[in-house]
């Protein structure tokens, strides 16, 4: 026993820890913000900083070459001509073979020693005309060797990256501020959105709790978001359906108890009558016993109907389709109603094609035809005539069964309702076939389970025609194989 308990606890899964919408939103927004900041940094470094570097390199090279050309072309190069590039951030120097500044001389030109040493290192061993672009000191530099022998000198153009660095620094600061703002905003937005969503969910969940307690007046309202509106629509629908089903159950109980009471009272009354009055009178006794039999039949019918409905509704009753002769089935049921023709003056007008076969659950289809014929007999007019037809379509694919009466008809507003459980059009009607208000519901469930088309057409004071559309199966199909 003990070990079993241990096993059970081991197998039991721990309950899943659920995250709140607020927390999840925050999480996702933070991830998004961090990703955005990273993306900005990346763009900044690869595009902005890269572009700055490239531009500096191009500028220093262009100016350096320009000065070299001027020197080669014999233009006078003096302090003024060299200083004119300063506005572009480029400083140009003419150096002697040892790296001393020849020009510009005023004001005393300062050149980074490191840069000069690098330049001499790079170009010292090469001949006149060689040039190089290199990074040294604070900036990016262009160097060219001109002249030879005693006339050997260098052109050095240098672009200080300190300005670029400063700009980049400032931009980075801005970027940091933007990042912080994005992060703060994402916190705020995620908080506001999640609050808005959860507010709707919370109100719906408290409404659902009320519904669970049995309050069917609750309304699920949320029109802020499409999905939430859909959810509240669905919940409203669920509420209506639950209410309907509860009403139905109450109605069923009332109807069944009422329907059971009448025949039971009759049976009891007639049994007493036989004992006390008609016991020895054979004729009277037979009559009273007939009433008892009829009422007992009615009780059986009622109980069967209630059982069929609950079985059909809970899908316990599976459909067993097979091929059978529909014509024979219809004739068989008409024969059952023969007593109406013989004793009650009913006439059945038939238009039935020979040997039509269909594939369906024979027993259930029998019930459908029986219920429809019973209703037609119950509700037909003074002429007590019922028209029954079973015809194959022109293309031979379908069979249409139709039963028509000449009664009062069914009002437009009731046409959809009559298929519901216990729905009865309110009127007193003396009916030869006892009904329970379940007949058409059984018809509907059976035909829907078969996926057969069916319907009713009705005209007030002219009558109603109930029809069912069956698939036609060639009789050649070997029925024994079904």
Interface contacts to ligand ADP, rule CB under 6 A: 371, 375-376, 378-379, 405, 407, 410, 418, 423-425, 435-441, 464
Question: Could you tell me which residues come within 8 angstroms of residue 474 by beta carbon, excluding any fewer than 6 positions away?
Answer: 357
Rounded (10°) CA dihedral 169, 172, 177, 178 = 150
Question: Is 327 or 367 the residue whose CB approaches ligand ADP more closely?
Answer: 367
Neighbours of 64 (CB within 10 A): 25
The alpha-carbon radius of gyration of the chain (Å, integer) is 50
Q: Is 355 helix (H, G, I), strand (E, B) or coil?
A: coil
Q: Which is nearer to ligand ADP, 116 or 309 (CB)?
A: 309
Shortest distance (Å) from residue 415 CB to ligand ADP: 9
Q: What is the closest distance, in whole angstroms, from the C-beta atom of residue 378 to ligand ADP in the complex?
A: 6
Structure tokens at 154: 């260098």
Residue 294 CB-density burial (10 A; 0-12 exposed, 13-18 middle, 19+ buried):
middle
When the beta carbons of 33 and 312 are compared against ligand ADP, the nearer one is 312
Please, what is the minimum distance in Å from the beta carbon of residue 407 to ligand ADP? 5
Residue 8 Cβ vs ligand ADP, minimum distance, rounded to whole Å: 51
CB of 371 to ligand ADP, least distance (A): 6
Residues 6+ apart with CB under 8 A from 255: 422, 436, 437
In the complex, residue closest to ligand ADP by CB: 435
Minimum CB distance to ligand ADP, residue 454 (Å)? 13
Task: Give the integer Cα–Cα distance in Å for 95 and 14.
Answer: 81
Q: Which residue's CB is nearer to ligand ADP, number 154 or number 387? A: 387
Which DSSP category does 479 fall into? G
- Looking at the Cβ atoms of 59 and 404, the one nearer to ligand ADP is 404
Q: Which is nearer to ligand ADP, 123 or 410 (CB)?
A: 410
Three-state secondary structure call for residue 206? helix
CA 353 to chain centre: 48
Q: How many CA atoms lie within 13 A of 320 on its CB side?
A: 5
Write the DSSP symbol of residue 368.
H
| Residue 305 beta carbon to ligand ADP: minimum distance, rounded to whole angstroms | 8
Choice between 358 and 371, CB closer to ligand ADP: 371
């Amino acid at each position: 026993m003990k070990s079993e308990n241990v096993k059970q606890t081991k197998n039991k899964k721990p309950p899943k820890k659920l995250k709140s919408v607020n927390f999840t939103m925050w999480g996702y927004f933070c991830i998004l913000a961090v990703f955005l900041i990273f993306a900005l940094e990346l763009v900044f470094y690869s595009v902005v900083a890269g572009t700055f570097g490239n531009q500096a390199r191009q500028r220093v090279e262009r100016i350096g070459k320009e000065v070299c050309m001027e020197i080669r072309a014999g233009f006078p190069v003096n302090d003024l001509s060299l200083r004119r590039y300063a506005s572009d951030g480029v400083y140009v120097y003419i150096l002697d073979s040892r790296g001393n500044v020849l020009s510009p001389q005023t004001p005393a030109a300062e050149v980074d020693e490191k840069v000069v040493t690098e330049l001499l290192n790079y170009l010292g061993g090469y001949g006149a005309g060689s040039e190089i672009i290199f990074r040294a000191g604070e900036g990016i530099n262009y160097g060219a060797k001109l002249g030879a022998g005693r006339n050997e000198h260098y052109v050095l153009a240098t672009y200080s990256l300190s300005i670029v660095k400063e700009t980049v620094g400032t931009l980075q600061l801005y970027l940091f501020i933007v990042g912080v703002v994005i992060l703060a905003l994402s916190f705020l937005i995620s908080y506001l959105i999640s609050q808005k969503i959860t507010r709707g969910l919370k109100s719906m969940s408290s409404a659902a709790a009320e519904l669970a307690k049995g309050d069917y007046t609750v309304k699920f309202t949320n029109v802020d978001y499409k999905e939430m509106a859909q959810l509240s629509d669905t919940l409203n629908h669920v509420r209506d359906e639950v209410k309907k089903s509860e009403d139905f159950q109450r109605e069923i109980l009332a109807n069944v108890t009422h329907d059971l009471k009448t025949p039971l009272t009759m049976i009891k009354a007639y049994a007493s009558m036989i004992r006390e009055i008609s016991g020895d009178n054979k004729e009277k006794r037979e009559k009273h016993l007939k009433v008892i039999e009829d009422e007992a039949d009615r009780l059986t019918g009622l109980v069967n109907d209630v059982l069929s409905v609950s079985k059909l509704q809970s899908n316990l009753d599976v459909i067993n389709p097979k091929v059978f002769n529909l014509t024979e089935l219809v004739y068989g049921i008409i024969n059952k109603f023969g007593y109406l023709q013989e004793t009650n003056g009913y006439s059945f007008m038939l238009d039935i094609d020979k040997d039509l076969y269909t594939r369906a659950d024979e027993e259930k289809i029998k019930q459908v035809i029986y219920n429809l014929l019973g209703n037609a007999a119950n509700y037909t007019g003074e002429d007590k005539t019922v028209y029954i037809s079973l015809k194959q379509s022109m293309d031979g694919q379908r069979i249409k069964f139709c039963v028509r009466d000449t009664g009062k008809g069914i009002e437009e507003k009731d046409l959809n309702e009559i298929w519901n459980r216990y729905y009865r059009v309110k009127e007193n009607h003396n009916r030869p076939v006892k009904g329970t208000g379940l007949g058409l519901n059984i018809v509907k469930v059976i035909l829907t389970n078969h996926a057969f088309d069916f319907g009713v057409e009705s005209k007030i004071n002219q009558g109603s025609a109930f029809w069912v559309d069956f698939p036609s199966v060639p009789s050649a199909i070997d029925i024994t194989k079904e």
